[in-house]
Structure 1
Amino acid sequence: MRPSLLDPLFAPITSFSGIGPKIAALIARAIGRENADETRAVDLILQPPHRIIDRRNQPGIAHSPEHSIVTLKLHVDRHLPPPRGKSNVPYRVFAHDETDEIALTFFHARQNWLEKALPVGETVLVSGKVEWFNGRASMVHPDHMALEKDAGAFPLVEPVYPLTAGLSPKLLQRAIDSALAVMPDMPEWLDEAFLRKNGFDGFTGAVRRLHDPRDESDISADAPARRRLAYDELLAGQLSLALVRQRIRRLRGKPVRGDGSIRERLQAALPFKLTASQSKAISEILTDMDSSDRMLRLLQGDVGSGKTAVALFAMAACAEAGGQAVLMAPTEILAQQHFATIEALAQKADLTIELLTGRTKGKEREAALSRIASGEARIIVGTHALFQESVNYHDLLLAVVDEQHRFGVHQRLRLTAKGSAPHMLVMTATPIPRTLVLAAFGDMDVSRLTEKPSGRQPIKTVTIELERIGDIVARLRDAISNGRKAYWICPLVEDSELSDLMSAEQRHAYLAAEFGSLADVVHGRMSSAEKDRAMQDFKSGKTRILVATTVIEVGVDVPDASIMVIEHAERFGLAQLHQLRGRVGRGSEASSCILLYKAPLSETARARLSIMRESDDGFRIAEEDLRLRGEGELLGTRQSGTPGFRLVDLQAHGDLLEAARDDARYILQKDAALAGERGQALRNLLYIWRRDEAIRLLQAG
């Protein structure tokens, strides 16, 4: 049960005056909550402003620069309402100060309201943008107006929050003020000495300071209030991961001790020699699984570094020990691809392998479930369908989760509660910097694959301006006549009036005019069957150019595709560009990646493209991506539904992450059930940051 102290913070935002379902939906969108019904007061108080408007600049009318926000002290001279029936003519109020005159302009305004707000003969304060026309100053719809005697209520420094179409700054500010008004005083969950050392306020004080900035330094990542709340967010994350891990450790794993026979047959069947880092990773995994402490290991490796082969050896060891292993992929295309890759090798090693996805239906599904329950199926590949209630395992020893940079860590860790407590291996193709591994996974053991398998050709990367597209088409014509295949990636699915980006459908039409039926298209809006057909035609060589959106970034293995064209490359992040580039260079042919960009480039885009040209080291690229874009983008949190950070900036708060990890460890050593005084306060912290799933684990014992 959530402590009653927190009830005001978990009031729905529709309980505040003036916020109905429509406004609530706009606020939810603006602050990054997916569901308006689940948006609470706590989400508003944890929404940081991203800049300030400083209304302290009072230069006088004559000295007000064009388009700048100023505050003016004015004497109101006269009102000029529009003629009757002319609602398209604005209402004007004329005023002056000692330097000049100004017209305050209002559209569709109510006369009685304006006469009360700006009485003739009174001195008033107004703030807004000044425009100059033919030497005369005007201000359209001032942001704030107040009589001189009410100047105390006039906001001279104003926080600015992210907005969405249809939501006014005033409405959002009013909602945030309502949430702040109901915020209770919290018992302190941070150590007294730590607070003093860092100059941190209490939680309530820090929240109030966050929303009441006095100057630019108050909204920087280094501001004490921001750092205090960022630390809370990191501690909530580290503590919940540590609780999940504690729970996993408490469920004893089964030691996996195979005799090596299946692995020997696999080794003989492999068409390549394992790299040194693959061998090292296999050894680390087997050592972990040889214990009754459950393995929880992250296998990081660039696209094409051979993660699946490593996982296969781990799964083979489980089969040798008489048990089963599952390999779970995020999409059906990827699950089918893993199955195709593994099946050929598994047959040579006498390993029974099963595919189970949402598409496995009827008798075929019943037969598969029966083989899984009896233990006949040793390795089971599939999507999240692997963990539905109807699936029973004979003896599940290992769960391999291919995350492809879509982390739903808590859900994945929960899934291992099925049946016995299997060991767990999480594979990711995003080379994540260490700080991000810590933030997303807690203190997980990590194996890294740093080499490409032998025989892989380097990929030549070039940047070309979009205007030279004719040259690219000519080069493609030569390449295709020599039997080669190419991907062409576009950022959008269909044409949009709002964007000058080339859509996949538009580019496909252009290329089909040049190459006829050799050009095809695949994108996320197509049905699974249509996508499969397009991929199959490309794989078989029936088509030679595949125009695609980034759906091909995750999975899709066509070894003889050797050209990758990425249109509007300046619009993609580094990690994404690197992932896409990794789709070629998988066969024995030399491959190339052409980054088409539209000039002029921003500084960040130029830096990104030059890193892509210089390096194919995924780990260096990931570090640069973190520096240029921030962690939310790199983890793909927007797409994955994982909560990205709200107040943490890992570039600025990396030192706090280490401290939060150490603090979480210390807390659980001292009070594993969070039952003491500090433990109870920390439960509030977990609720506030929506990490209460970890509390339910505690209650489940």
Structure 2
Amino acid sequence: MRPSLLDPLFAPVTTLDGVGAKLADLLSNIVPGDGTGRELRVGDLLFVLPHSLVDRRNRPGIANAPEGAIVTLELTVSRHHPSPPGRKSAPYRVFAFDDTGEIALTFFHARAQWLEKVLPEGEKVLVSGRMEWFNGRPSMVHPDFIVPAAEADTLPTLEPVYPLTAGLSAKVLRRAIGQALERLPDLPEWQDPAFLARNRMPGFGAALRRLHAPQEPDDSTPESQFWRRVAYDEFLAGQLSLALVRARVKRLSGRPLTGDGHLEAKIRAALPYALTGSQEEAVRDIHADLGQPERMVRLLQGDVGAGKTVVALLAMARAAEAGAQSALMAPTEILARQHFATIRPLAEAAGLTAAVLTGREKGKERQNTLDAIASGAVDFVIGTHALFQESVSFHDLALAVIDEQHRFGVHQRLAITAKGNAPDMLVMTATPIPRTLVLSAFGDMDVSRLTEKPAGRQPIRTVTLPMERLGELVERIRKALAEGQKAYWICPLVEESEEVPLTSAEDRFAALQKIFGSAVGLVHGRMKAAEKDEAMRAFKAGETRILVGTTVVEVGVDVSDATIIVIEHAERFGLAQLHQLRGRVGRGALASSCVLLYKGPLGQTAIRRLEVMRETEDGFVIAEEDLKLRGEGDLLGTKQSGTPGFRVARIESHTDLLQAARDDARLILSQDSDLETPRGEALRLLLYLFGRDEAVRLLRAG
């Protein structure tokens, strides 16, 4: 049960004064949600932080107030000039003065009664707003604040500016946030006092109040100790919840998988190349994990074509030596079949059996495969997520390998655990992830990185080309095809769109078909799986020589004699995606090239992206650059995958805190695994506050 102390923050936002269903809908547009689609709560408003400040401390007097500046003036009201009768569009002016001159306060469509009440003639008032000068005469149109001089202390000298949405005014939002702050209970401290003192961090409540009511211009910046305090709380909640998942997964104790290496030796002998140094190191790490009685939960990161599949295969061989089965799960059918095509001949060389299981197998064929898996006749099962969702029963599943981890969230990892007797887990990703994001999204895993290209891989020459030189490019491709090469041509859209003036895959396909005839194929995401597979097969077999497509070819498709990839409107793609696409070529013995076609003029970010692509092929360098250019936003597809997008923390500003939070979370759980000490009880409140309720449920489930 959630502690009752938090009830005021977990009440629906509609329990606040003046917040009905309509306003709640508007608020939900700006509140950073937790992705669950639940109704908005009072506590959610606490984490809507200002993105900038308006400084109202400047009091220069009328004559010295510069054009366009936000100023605060102490005025005496002299006279009202209402709009002339019958001319509602004409402004209502109130004239006022100070020691330096006179100003016109200008209002459109104003109610005379209200203006006479807030600006009574002869009274002293404080007004604040943007200064304007017309023909040498000072004016302020619709001042932001008007208060009697006697109530000067109610005027916010530093006014936070929040994100807004159509129909939501700053005043209404500030009022709602103010009410949420009033409901914030006095919470026990969950952070280590020595850590707070060392980093000059205030308490949680004090930090939030200062962020929403800053006293200095720097108070509301991500670098301030107030913002850093709440960011650290968020990181710690995330790291604790990942560490609890990890502890739970490990507690379902695995078993040592040991072998004498004879099957592994046969697979190595069948490989046409030697493993790289980092592949060997990863294999050693994995074998060491498999030999332990605790479960392995390891992330294998490798750049495009770094040879992750072979490392996974050698891990699967170790499971087979221990007399158990392995499963490899890929996110798409194309990728699952490609893994199967790579693995089956190597497995057979070692006397092992591999089977594939996707949505395409039907009827008797499918039943035969299911029976073979259940009886233990199959050593390696390769498939899509259907492997873990349908009525697939394994004889003895000891190792689960998951490809392209960012498509699957933490909780799907737990679901996979239910198959077999708590199988060891190896997770692979070809999206190089900056170290900081590895910590935030995969803090529950050990990490191996493949940092070298396999032997024989050719470097890829990357060039940028403006759309105006399209004709030259087509000629270059004509020559390459005559030499027996193949090319990909990637477009950002499937079909023409009125809203977005970009060339679509279908348009480009039609244009290239006029030049190259039946040598051009087409593949995109709206085609049926069988049509996509057929387009890929024809390209691989050489029946087509140019494959026009969308980013559907991004992940894992392997055609070793494709040597050119053209990415049209490259300025529209993110760095990580450009890098993934480029990795479709350079897979054979021939030199390969990547042509980034762009349409000018380009913005600064687009220019930098294309520069980075020309400068380096190192996916990890590219990922770090992507993080700088974009922030952590969608680098991992976090919206879809259950990896944490942060409400308060900013990876680019708070990296140092993330490492500290990971270390602290591990230390806490090593000393208080069930969070039962006074600090542990306080940390449970933290987990609830940041929407990590699942972690608390894991505690209860033991």
TM-score between both structures, scaled by the size of structure 2: 0.89
Tell me the residue number matched to 1:225. Answer: 226
Question: C-alpha deviations, 1:174-226, integer Å up to 9, x for none?
Answer: 33223222111111111222222222211111111222223442223221111
Match of 1:78 in 2: 80
Which amino acid is 1:11 matched to?
A
Find the aligned partners of 2:251 and 2:9 in 1 and give their Cα distance: 33
1:4 and 2:18 correspond: no
Task: Indicate yes or no: 2:151 matched with 1:187.
Answer: no
Q: Describe the superposition over 1:267-296 as per-residue Cα deviations: whole angstroms up to 9, x where unpaired.
A: 333333332322332232122212212112
Following superposition, the deviation at residue 693 of structure 1 comes to: 1.5
Relative to structure 2, which stretch is displaced further, 426-435 or 164-173? 164-173
Q: Distance in 1 between matches of 2:381 and 2:628?
A: 39
- Asked if 2 retains the 8 angstrom alpha-carbon contact of 1:76 and 1:123, the reply is no
For 1:416-455, list aligned pairs within 5 A.
Answer: 416-442=417-443, 444-455=445-456
Q: Is the 8 A contact 1:356 1:381 kept in 2?
A: yes
Who is 2:592 aligned against? 591
Q: CA deviation at 1:310?
A: 1.0
Secondary structure of the 1:27 match is helix
Does the 8 Å CA contact 1:25/1:35 hold for their aligned counterparts?
no
Q: Distance in 1 between matches of 2:546 and 2:186?
A: 62
2:399 partner SS = strand
User: Quick check: 1:79–1:92 contact (8 Å CA) kept in 2?
Assistant: yes
Unaligned runs of 5+ in 1: none
* Deviation at residue 589 of structure 1 after TM alignment: 2.1
RMSD over aligned CA atoms reads 3.2
**Partner Cα separation in structure 2 for residue 542 and residue 610 of structure 1:** 35
Aligned to 2:402: 401
1:363/1:176 CA distance change after superposition, 3 Å: farther
Structure 2 equivalent of residue 646 of structure 1: 647
Q: Give 1:564's aligned residue.
A: 565
Q: Could you report, residue by residue, the CA deviation over 1:222-255 in whole angstroms, capped at 9, with x for unpaired residues?
A: 2111111121112112222222222222222122
Deviates more, 1:526-535 or 1:440-449: 526-535
Report the residue type matching 1:202 in the other structure.
Answer: G
Where 2:633 maps in the other structure, the secondary structure is helix
> Structure 2 matches for 1:78-97, cutoff 5 A?
78-81=80-83, 89=89, 91-97=91-97
Which is further off, 33-42 or 67-76? Answer: 67-76
How many Å separate the matches in 2 of 1:466 and 1:133? 47
Number of residues paired by the alignment? 698
Q: Distance in 1 between matches of 2:111 and 2:498?
A: 36
Equivalent-residue separation in structure 1 for 2:172 and 2:553 (angstroms): 41
- Mean Cα deviation higher: 244-253 or 35-44: 35-44
For the residues of structure 1 that align with 2:588 and 2:325, how far apart are their CA atoms? Answer: 32
Taking the aligned partners of 2:584 and 2:651, their CA distance within structure 1 comes to 29
Q: Structure 1 length normalisation: TM-score? A: 0.89
Q: Is the 8 A contact 2:222 2:228 kept in 1?
A: yes
Whole-Å separation in 2 of the counterparts to 1:493 and 1:57: 54
- State whether residues 432 and 619 of structure 1, in contact with CA within 8 Å, keep that contact through their aligned partners in structure 2: yes
2:682 aligns with 681
Show the counterpart of 1:24: 24
CA distance 1:249–1:645, change in 2 (3 Å): same
Report runs of 4+ in structure 1 exceeding 6 Å deviation: none
Written as runs of structure 1 = structure 2, the 5 A alignment for 1:169-318 is: 169-318=170-319
* Cα distance change, pair 114–521 in 1 and its aligned pair in 2 (3 A): farther
Residues 492-548 of structure 1: per-residue CA shift (max 9 Å, x gap)? 555666655555556556555655665555444555455445444444445444444
Residue 332 in 1 paired to residue 316 in 2?
Answer: no
CA contact (8 A) 2:82 2:112 kept: no
Matched AA of 2:230: L
Partner of 2:356: 355
- In 2, Cα distance between equivalents of 1:466 and 1:555: 28
Q: Secondary structure at the match of 2:372?
A: helix
Specify whether residues 525 and 146 from structure 1 end up closer, same or farther in structure 2 by C-alpha distance, changes over 3 A only: farther
How far is the alpha carbon of 1:469 from its aligned partner?
3.5
Residue by residue, what CA displacement relative to the aligned partner does 1:285-318 show, whole Å, maximum 9, x if unpaired?
1222122121122211110011011111211222
Deviation at 1:63, TM superposition (A): 5.2
SS in 1 for 2:691: coil
Identify if the C-alpha distance between structure 1 residues 697 and 629 changes in structure 2 by more than 3 Å, giving closer, same or farther: same
CA distance in 2, matches of 1:618, 1:223: 33
Matched letter for residue 78 of structure 1: H
SS in 2 for 1:644: coil
CA distance in 2, matches of 1:112, 1:8: 39
Residue 677 of structure 1, CA deviation: 0.9
SS of residue in 1 equivalent to 2:624: helix
* 1:525-544 to 2 correspondences below 5 Å: 525-544=526-545
AA of the residue aligned to 1:169:
A
Structure 1 residues 155 and 552: alpha-carbon distance in aligned structure 2, compared to 1, 3 A threshold? farther
Over 3 Å counting, the alpha-carbon distance change for 1:127 and 1:481 in structure 2 is farther
Q: Which residue of 2 aligns with 1:581?
A: 582
What is aligned with 2:476?
475
Q: 2 CA distance for matches of 1:90 and 1:239?
A: 61
1: CA distance, partners of 2:547 / 2:522? 5
1:358/1:686 Cα in 2 relative to 1: closer, same or farther (>3 Å)?
A: farther
Q: What letter corresponds to residue 80 of structure 2 in structure 1?
A: R
Which stretch shifts more, 611-620 or 270-279? Answer: 270-279
Aligned to 1:106: 108
Q: Distance in 1 between matches of 2:507 and 2:124?
A: 59
Task: Measure the CA separation in 2 of the matches of 1:415 and 1:672.
Answer: 24
Secondary structure of 1:634's counterpart equals coil
Q: Is the 8 A contact 1:277 1:451 kept in 2?
A: yes
Aligned to 1:484: 485
Q: Structure 1 residues 490, 211: closer, same or farther in 2, change over 3 A?
A: farther
Aligned-partner Cα distance in 1 for 2:533–2:61: 67
Match of residue 631 from structure 1: 632
Q: Is the 8 A contact 1:90 1:105 kept in 2?
A: no
Partner of 1:163: 164
Q: Post-superposition shift, 1:585?
A: 1.0
Q: 1:530 to 1:104 in 2, by over 3 A?
A: farther
CA separation in 2, counterparts of 1:332 and 1:142?
61
C-alpha distance 318-169 of structure 1, shift in aligned 2 (>3 A):
same
Q: How far, CA to CA, are the matches of 2:177 and 2:624 in structure 1?
A: 35
Contact 1:31 1:162 in 2 (8 A): no
